[in-house]
Structure 1
Amino acid sequence: MKTVYKLLLMSLLVAVGCESDLDQVPPNIASADSLEDFQGVLNAAYFYQHGSVTPLAVMGDFRADNALMDEEPYPAFDRFNGELTVMEDQFFGPFYTALYKSILSANNVIENSSDATHIGEAKFLRALSYFKLVKVFGDVPVNLSASPSTTDKSILARQPVSDVYNNVIIPDFQDAITSLDNSGLSNGRATQIAAQGMLAKAYIQRGDFSNAQPLLAEVINGAAGAGISLQANYGDIFGFENDLNSEIIFATQISSSVVDEYGDSEFWSWYGGLDTKALMPLDPDLIAAFDENGEVSGTLRRGVVIDEGLMASPKYPQTGGPDHDWIELRLADVILLYAETLNENGTSSEEVLDLLDPIRTRAGLDPLDHTVLNTQALVREAIYDERRLELAFEGQRWFDLVRTGTVNEEIGESVDPNYYLFPIPISEILASDGVITQNPGYQGS
């Protein structure tokens, strides 16, 4: 396992000093004009995704109704005000820095490499990075150069979310689809089918179900040919021994033998209650959701996701924790998105609900009753409920609530939409001399 880039990355010195994260370059990498093989730079683009994993996990589940913090100031994740800025060093800063490092490494490959496959992988990683950034921060600076100016700070101005999608995320994923095949699935590299799935996910995040539908259909129809299938046992999706299993379409590979720039507790520790700031992270609301779905104690999926005794999640076994890959996209996620897309596009409720049967059967549940769930609204709610339970503790819940417009309903209070986004790191605002601005509602806005 961990065959993508371990040996190359072990030689990287992960230390940089610069004025802004847009200016950072992959350390210990020769200048572009002296390189002929950009494999090492591409591997750096993969590696830097590590730093986005735990912050995204915390934002996705602890901001939502799946998980709770115990120790101040961390419960601010459940208080919708401007307090989150005090935690930028642990979450928002590392997330921001890691993704712009990945972007700059990808830019270097795109601009200088002559290998079409490497360029396709780099475009996938650049699109993935910007997709994560806009979900978390909204408008963000855009850099598509391998050597951005270190003096012209106007390039740091935040660009509208719509422009980031239209000018970077969508075309980069499209180019990756064209450039890549699926041979990289076996060793965890970006592939055509992963680009199709992530582009569809980006469209759905924007509410564009028309463009998402054919892409999701291609992923589902092409899954078997690519060796992708649902795991028969839900628990076999997770844990380091199951990395790159048949259900995984793309994951950020993590290895304890490669030093991670992220220096705080990792996602598996947060979810498992191993950090003193969240010793009992399981939100009782998630337990109630399993109860309401008929998943009683001992049901196949419930036992993997939650442990009411510990009030934590055993989804990522603590043995081998530092080697757990972070799943960016898996087949069950795609199936649920396809069901949602078909429902939004007017497909009959019976046809849509049939798609959920394999996921529910694996969870130890009966198929949903077509005669009861016979309207678009009822089917929509059933899909949302299924996504919550199937993907709990995979960093998706908060972003699903925001995109579906269900934050207030599910959180149980009226949340100011300013707090749908997270704070831009103040360090970046200061380094840019104020060219980078803060999100409304947070200190420095």
Structure 2
Amino acid sequence: MKSKYILLNLFTATLLVMLISGCKKELEYVPESYLSPEQVYADEAGAIAGITGIYRQFQQLKKSELGLIGNIGTDEGKTSGFVPTWGGYWLQLSSVSSYDKTQLSPQNDVLFYFWQKVYQAIGNANIAIRYIEKGPAGEAVKTRILGEAKFLRAMGYFYLVQLWGDVPMPTEAVDPIADENGYPRTPATDVYKLIISDLQYAQQNLPDKSKMEKGRANKQAAQALLGKVYLTIKDYPNAKTALDPLMSTTETALMPNYADLFKNDESTENNIESLFEFQYSVESGHTQNFSEILGSWNISGNQPGGGGQVALPTAYAANIYPLADSARKNAALRSVYYDGNGNPGLNDWWGDVGKPHLKKYEQKPNQGSNSSTRNIYYLRYADALLMYAEVLNELGQTTQALTYLNKVRTRAKISNLETVMGGTPSQQQFRDSMVTERIKELMFEGWRLFDLKRWGLFETRTKLYNTESTNNIQLPMHLLYPIPYRELIANKAITNQNTGY
């Protein structure tokens, strides 16, 4: 049985308000298991359990259709043809892919739930930081769990600032009475300063990956995320400094075979390449339906096909792998489905018959709906290598950058880039190769939207390759999502909406 960790169902003050603005919410029933922050963080064991509860909140964010944000609405992924016909919430989800202005609006519930869940996790991280700092835990434990709390808070704000720009930025536990007027939007530059500060603390104080429980933040994960943040704001010297230790550590390395990263028997989860991944298991009571949403669900019985098929790769992404790159293609995509007796058949349940679907998250055979126990990657060492190569190239060190890019290509059993190009590429040629290399290596791992924005290619590539969005995308409007209407109503300190909404 694989090692998983049961997550505490933590009820804290942030769950008693509808929004982080401090808007009070009447509770008809307070569970007997309710614990105040003072009770949770009264001792060392409680503090550790409190942090574990925050991990669970991010698990919930990634386990469902909300985990598609970052993948769909790009040149990489789209919602399937049937999703808009389901109406309501699903029509709103399809607009995140198509940028349909009638649905991608402040009233969009998909965006509101994402916003709400991230802020709930941040709120609990703020509570943890406040009570751990003055709590009774031993100094070594206190430093470690503070590092975890700050890593998780940084993760949350990194999502928010990339998707919404200037956002409210509470750093203390919310007081529903004292803070009843809400929080104004903080400039994105200041949000990034907090993210960087939190991750600097985390990478300095968290133990190495090998010394941490599986599924918990560690030094190498913090270094990789800090490097990604610096890369996002184009601070290349500091990105290099953050990523440098990962290039020489023995704590992480590439798995020898790409396909082994995605075995559906779950035997290679929490592997040497994984820097941080979200944990799911029957034992913990926390499973995911992301596999089903992507159509990569092994149906029991004799019915060919599988899954809800809510999202799938664009035609461009499905055909991006050259013949030589079959190792990654065969691990990432499935074009033929099998029934319960092992007989091949087309996926004919929904609207995109026979089109390639994501295989990466395919769950164990005979697991039912909403019961996949596959973990979901957040950060992998291959991502760190590609980021480091990108940073070196931007610093004018293209020849050195090839070393790190080629590590990823060699694992995929394809030729070095300079061999393919007949010599050392120019800086721009290297940039162009990175655009395709990252999608081939990291397809549907949650980073494509942010990559395209960083490169300034979001509009051109999404319009070109995600055809349902071609006539809808407008800049600067769609570089950011609208602030949710329910937040604007509850949080009177927010006085402006993002451009175009």
Scaled by the length of structure 2, the TM-score of the pair is: 0.77
Change (3 A) 1:359 1:250: same
1:393 positional shift: 1.0
Query: What amino acid is the match of 1:385?
Result: T
Change (3 A) 1:381 1:373: farther
Partner of 1:107: 126
d(CA) in 2 for partners of 1:211, 1:4 = 35
Change (3 A) 1:377 1:295: same
Partner of 1:51: 60
Partner of 1:255: 281
String of CA shifts for 1:250-272, please: whole Å, max 9, x gaps: 11222344456x9xx83322223
1:287 aligns with 2:287: no
For the residue of structure 2 that corresponds to 1:187, the secondary structure is coil
Conserved 8 A contact 1:178-1:192:
yes
Partner of 1:160: 187
Change (3 A) 1:279 1:50: closer
Query: What amino acid is the match of 1:344?
Result: E
Partner of 2:108: 88
**Further displaced range: 335-344 or 73-82:** 73-82
Alignment counterpart, residue 196 of structure 2, candidates 170, 176, 181: 170
Partner of 2:70: 60
d(CA) in 2 for partners of 1:87, 1:396 = 25
Matches within 5 A, 1:145-156: 145-156=172-183
Conserved 8 A contact 2:207-2:219:
yes
d(CA) in 2 for partners of 1:109, 1:280 = 36
Change (3 A) 1:20 1:378: same
Matches within 5 A, 1:114-129: 114=135, 115-129=142-156
Conserved 8 A contact 2:78-2:97:
yes
1:308 positional shift: 3.4
d(CA) in 1 for partners of 2:447, 2:440 = 11
Gaps of 5+ in 1: none
Gaps of 5+ in 2: 26-30, 85-90, 136-141, 298-305, 337-353, 465-469
Change (3 A) 1:395 1:129: same
Partner of 1:352: 401
For the residue of structure 2 that corresponds to 1:61, the secondary structure is coil
1:154 positional shift: 4.1
String of CA shifts for 1:62-113, please: whole Å, max 9, x gaps: 1112222222124423433432238833x32232222222212222221111
d(CA) in 2 for partners of 1:140, 1:438 = 11
1:141 aligns with 2:168: yes
d(CA) in 1 for partners of 2:279, 2:21 = 24
1:387 aligns with 2:438: yes
Conserved 8 A contact 1:429-1:435:
yes
1:232 aligns with 2:239: no
Conserved 8 A contact 1:142-1:155:
no
Matches within 5 A, 1:303-342: 303-309=330-336, 310=354, 311-319=356-364, 322-342=372-392
Partner of 2:460: 409
1:341 positional shift: 0.2
Change (3 A) 1:184 1:258: same
Conserved 8 A contact 1:424-1:438:
yes
Change (3 A) 1:378 1:124: same
Query: What amino acid is the match of 1:254?
Result: Y
d(CA) in 2 for partners of 1:29, 1:79 = 43
d(CA) in 2 for partners of 1:29, 1:128 = 25
Alignment counterpart, residue 292 of structure 2, candidates 269, 285, 291: 269
Conserved 8 A contact 1:156-1:432:
yes
Change (3 A) 1:389 1:322: same
d(CA) in 1 for partners of 2:204, 2:179 = 34
d(CA) in 1 for partners of 2:248, 2:214 = 22
**Further displaced range: 209-218 or 178-187:** 178-187
Conserved 8 A contact 2:75-2:316:
yes
Change (3 A) 1:12 1:31: closer
Conserved 8 A contact 1:55-1:92:
no
For the residue of structure 2 that corresponds to 1:93, the secondary structure is helix
d(CA) in 2 for partners of 1:155, 1:273 = 42
Partner of 1:375: 426
String of CA shifts for 1:97-147, please: whole Å, max 9, x gaps: 222222122222211114121111111111111111111221111111124
1:400 positional shift: 0.5
**Further displaced range: 241-250 or 105-114:** 105-114
Query: What amino acid is the match of 2:449?
Result: W
Change (3 A) 1:286 1:433: same
String of CA shifts for 1:216-236, please: whole Å, max 9, x gaps: 1111212x1x2x111111122
For the residue of structure 2 that corresponds to 1:249, the secondary structure is strand
1:13 positional shift: 10
Conserved 8 A contact 2:181-2:493:
no
Partner of 1:9: 8
Partner of 1:35: 42
Conserved 8 A contact 2:215-2:279:
yes
1:362 aligns with 2:391: no
For the residue of structure 1 that corresponds to 2:443, the secondary structure is coil
Query: What amino acid is the match of 2:320?
Result: A
1:335 positional shift: 0.1
Answer 1 or 2: which has greater helix percent.
1
1:4 positional shift: 6.5
Query: What amino acid is the match of 1:400?
Result: D
Partner of 1:427: 486
Query: What amino acid is the match of 2:129?
Result: I
Query: What amino acid is the match of 1:171?
Result: S
Change (3 A) 1:408 1:373: farther
Scaled by the length of structure 1, the TM-score of the pair is: 0.86
**How many aligned residue pairs are there?**
428
Query: What amino acid is the match of 2:290?
Result: F
Conserved 8 A contact 1:300-1:362:
no
Partner of 1:181: 207
CA-atom RMSD in angstroms: 3.0
d(CA) in 2 for partners of 1:184, 1:366 = 36
1:350 positional shift: 3.0
Partner of 2:139: none
For the residue of structure 2 that corresponds to 1:218, the secondary structure is helix
Query: What amino acid is the match of 2:256?
Result: A
d(CA) in 1 for partners of 2:148, 2:178 = 30
Find the structure with the greater CA-based Rg: 2
Change (3 A) 1:198 1:81: same
1:196 positional shift: 1.1
Q: Matched residues, percent identical? A: 29
Change (3 A) 1:435 1:86: closer
